[in-house]
Chain A
Amino acid sequence: MATILINNVEYPIPEGEKLNAIQMAQRVGVEIPYYCWHPALSVVANCRMCEIEVGTKDPKTGEIKLLPKLVPGCQTPAKDGTVLVTDSAKVQEHQRMVMEYLLLNHPLDCPVCDQAGECGLQDYSFGHGQSVHRFVEERSVNPRKDVSDSIQLNADRCIMCTRCVRFTREITQTGELQVTRRGSHAEIDVFPGMPVDNPLASNVVDICPVGALLDKDFLHKQRAWFLSKHDAICAGCSTGCNVSAEENRGQLWRYKPRHNPYVNDFWICDEGRYSYKAANSPDLLSAMYLRAGDDHKVSPVSETLRVVGDRLQGLTTAGGKIAGVLSPFLTVEEAYLLGRYLKSLSPANVLALGPVPVRGEDQTFTPDPIEGRTGDASFVVCQPFTIHAEKCPNRRGVAAVLEHLQGEVIPFEALLGRVKGGEFRGLYAASSAIEPWIGESEAQTIRSGVAFLVVQDSLVTALAQVADVVLAGATFAEKAGSYVNAQGRLQYAEASLPPREGSLPDLDILSILLNRPGDPVSSSEILAEIAAEIPAFATARGGSPPEYGVLLAGVEPTRKGPVPPPFVDSWFVAQGAARGR
């Protein structure tokens, strides 16, 4: 077995992966500080922060020979017999020198810098730097500028790691950013009139290790340490990007991508990134309503749910059929409970998949291992990133539930025709769409086709205007549950906000309607039930899917080979007292 010697301890090298010294050390819990290296970008070794002592061990004599000079860890492959020394006096002295050099021109404006608290310079300056500064000359000042409508560049804070430049060249292959001028005058810039406006542009803000590239949407609004992070799934399209939804004072402030090598790698698209705003909208439904004449009257939650239960029960016992519209914005658990509920009233009730919003075409970014790379990309595992045209998170999941409950998936249009034909007495429509999901004319068709209409939503839609009962459900940010993305991967999303005043999470509404006994319902308990009952979901057994999610049964994996552990730049990991927040 291949082994590597790190700081005099021998570790086995994982097979089938090509790792560099930084990654190898990270796996065994040894930190090698770095700025310019990123696992998805080519190695340029220009920050010099990761330099360590490297050598070889003679397999016969056991003699260790170290190279006379320090070598960048990002460029050093972890091979059998390699020796790494990361904590010697020589390495520490070098790190101190690099820190002093990087901070030569860096302004001391941490109090007003948004990156403070998750800044590579702060963390490494504390860990590896020194408290004194010998530079007495005037610092070079580069003015603030906009590199796009959503990104601001504070060039004086930049340390020229060129991660952003490599991102636009290698991942999006649009190449808007580059380094202009040389030496201490070097500056990141765009060509005049050609801003960074690709669909993944704002990722450059996330990969910036310092506060040079800033998101104008988040600029100066919150401090990083005030935000509580929740592991969520973006509901903007069927890619199902893993995001960290960051909340403070009952409001979402931003999305940051989370690493998932199967789904979104390290990135999210700008459309998804700013889709969090829908959860903060002041226009969300804030109470449950009952129809009173031509108007709606606010009604207490318990009363409203009792009316829904009684009326639907009454309709079915009178022999009427009820239709359920399950929007692809529902989680798997909600779709299952709603389906169960309507089928338990009468097996003749019909369930349909709600309208699936499709906008534009799928757009895929395929980084190439060689093409467009600035430096050595041999450690990079290329992973395509797709922005799907299907703008809902869970069509596959809801469809799989419907497939099991009634053997077929009825599309919304077909159901609409049957509603028009007067087949149904009641209709239960459930959604938590980001945008209004049913138009004026469709709402009218449904209204005139049924006697009793229940709408469970978070937005005031055309359908809610004409409904008999309006149930205020949770938005995507307020509910926990699982989504199945376009490739068939079931992923769990945490709730990032508490339920709004006057609303109830969809899962609770449905469990009350179902009269489920016991404690307040939890999504993992329902998912465990689903996994035991529906063969397609058998892989989610136990109800708590692993970190990267699980593929539904019978779905071919898109990525083969070993799976790396989740990658987070060390400065985004809470340090010190912030760890407990």
Chain B
Amino acid sequence: MQADDPNLKLIRPLEMSLADRLFLPAIVVGLGVTARHIAGVMFGGKAITVQYPEEQHITSANYRGVHRLNRDHEGRVKCVACMLCATACPAHCIDIVGATAPETWPDREKYPESFVIDELRCIYCGMCEEACPVEAIELTGLYDLTGLSREEMIFDKAKLLSVFDATRNQEPMRYGKPPVDPGSLHTTALPSQGPGPA
């Protein structure tokens, strides 16, 4: 498009009045907003920050925090190792090794022998959750994820399942039946594990 194109419309900035050019009235209006907030926090109880860690922040229902791997009603990992989450992941932080399901699982054909998420590489976009055809991977409301080493932040299948066990009561699975007896499951964080059904 040329500069002299008849379709071009020239828009000039608005003329500034004397008050605009002084900027003082605008500063006063701005300070007024700040004062209103200070008053709201001090006298109206309208603070939006919390005294962390004594007070815990409660996330909204769709907050995207640490991942968990859901269990089906028999307590097995729900994931079918279709690798659609790994395909959808823009950060390439999911690594799955699929395997044929054990004979004792007649309803299942495939399961993840290993399922590893690099929580440091993850950008918490939630695409994995969206891609999952069996609602096996979900992002929980856990936001205070810390670790002392990089290795610690690479979550394997056992750890992701233990996140489910730890959050299943606060955040029930959106679809499907949860395992019947939570007492029979591992509820503490599990040590790293080798391949094998879980």
Q: A219-B100, A220-B98, A220-B110 are in contact. Are A112 and B83 (CB under 8 A)?
A: no
Least Cβ distance of A261 to chain B in Å? Answer: 35
Least Cβ distance of A31 to chain B in Å? Answer: 26
Looking at the complex, which of A60-68, A79-87, A121-129, A221-229 is the stretch in contact with chain B?
A221-229
- Determine if A220 and B87 form an interchain contact, defined as CB atoms under 8 angstroms apart: no
User: Which of A112, A219, A226 has the most chain B CB atoms closer than 10 A to its own CB?
Assistant: A112
Question: Does A371 have its Cβ within 8 Å of any Cβ on chain B?
Answer: no
- State in angstroms the CA–CA spacing of A219 and B101 once bound together: 11
Least Cβ distance of A146 to chain B in Å? Answer: 12
Residue of A whose beta carbon sits closest to that of B131? A111
Least Cβ distance of B44 to chain A in Å? Answer: 52
- Determine if B87 and A112 form an interchain contact, defined as CB atoms under 8 angstroms apart: no
Question: Does B134 have its Cβ within 8 Å of any Cβ on chain A?
Answer: yes
User: Which of A219, A220, A221, A223 has the most chain B CB atoms closer than 10 A to its own CB?
Assistant: A220
- State in angstroms the CA–CA spacing of A220 and B84 once bound together: 13
Question: Does B172 have its Cβ within 8 Å of any Cβ on chain A?
Answer: no
Interface band, chain B: 10 to 19
- State in angstroms the CA–CA spacing of A112 and B87 once bound together: 14
Residue of A whose beta carbon sits closest to that of B80? A112
- Determine if A223 and B133 form an interchain contact, defined as CB atoms under 8 angstroms apart: no
- Determine if B82 and A111 form an interchain contact, defined as CB atoms under 8 angstroms apart: yes
Least Cβ distance of A139 to chain B in Å? Answer: 15
Least Cβ distance of A215 to chain B in Å? Answer: 13
- State in angstroms the CA–CA spacing of A47 and B84 once bound together: 30
- Determine if A109 and B98 form an interchain contact, defined as CB atoms under 8 angstroms apart: no
Q: A220-B110, A223-B87, A225-B87 are in contact. Are A112 and B99 (CB under 8 A)?
A: no
- State in angstroms the CA–CA spacing of A144 and B105 once bound together: 13
- Determine if B98 and A111 form an interchain contact, defined as CB atoms under 8 angstroms apart: no
A contacts with B, residue count (CB < 8 A) = 10
- State in angstroms the CA–CA spacing of A111 and B109 once bound together: 10
- State in angstroms the CA–CA spacing of A221 and B134 once bound together: 19
Question: Does B128 have its Cβ within 8 Å of any Cβ on chain A?
Answer: no
Per-residue CB contact flags for chain B residues 78-103 toward chain A (1 = under 8 Å, else 0) read 00111110010000000000111000
Which residues of chain B have C-beta atoms less than 8 A from A221's C-beta? 98
Per-residue CB contact flags for chain A residues 327-351 toward chain B (1 = under 8 Å, else 0) read 0000000000000000000000000
- State in angstroms the CA–CA spacing of A220 and B112 once bound together: 10
Report which of A109, A112, A144, A225 forms a contact with B81, defined as CB distance below 8 A. A112
CB-CB contacts below 8 Å: B33-47 with A: none
User: Which of A111, A223, A225 has the most chain B CB atoms closer than 10 A to its own CB?
Assistant: A111
- State in angstroms the CA–CA spacing of A32 and B165 once bound together: 52
Residue of A whose beta carbon sits closest to that of B83? A223
Which residues of chain A have C-beta atoms less than 8 A from B81's C-beta? 112, 220
Per-residue CB contact flags for chain A residues 209-252 toward chain B (1 = under 8 Å, else 0) read 00000000001110101100000000000000000000000000
- State in angstroms the CA–CA spacing of A221 and B113 once bound together: 10
Chosen A-B contacts, 7 in total, with CB atoms closer than 8 Å, are A111-B82, A111-B84, A111-B133, A220-B98, A220-B100, A221-B98, A223-B87
What is the interface of chain B, defined by CB distance below 8 A to chain A? Answer: 80-84, 87, 98-100, 109-110, 133-134
What is the interface of chain A, defined by CB distance below 8 A to chain B? Answer: 109, 111-112, 144, 219-221, 223, 225-226
12 new A-B pairs (CB below 8 Å) besides A111-B84, A112-B80, A226-B87? Answer: A109-B109, A111-B82, A111-B133, A112-B81, A112-B109, A112-B110, A144-B109, A220-B99, A220-B109, A220-B110, A223-B82, A226-B83
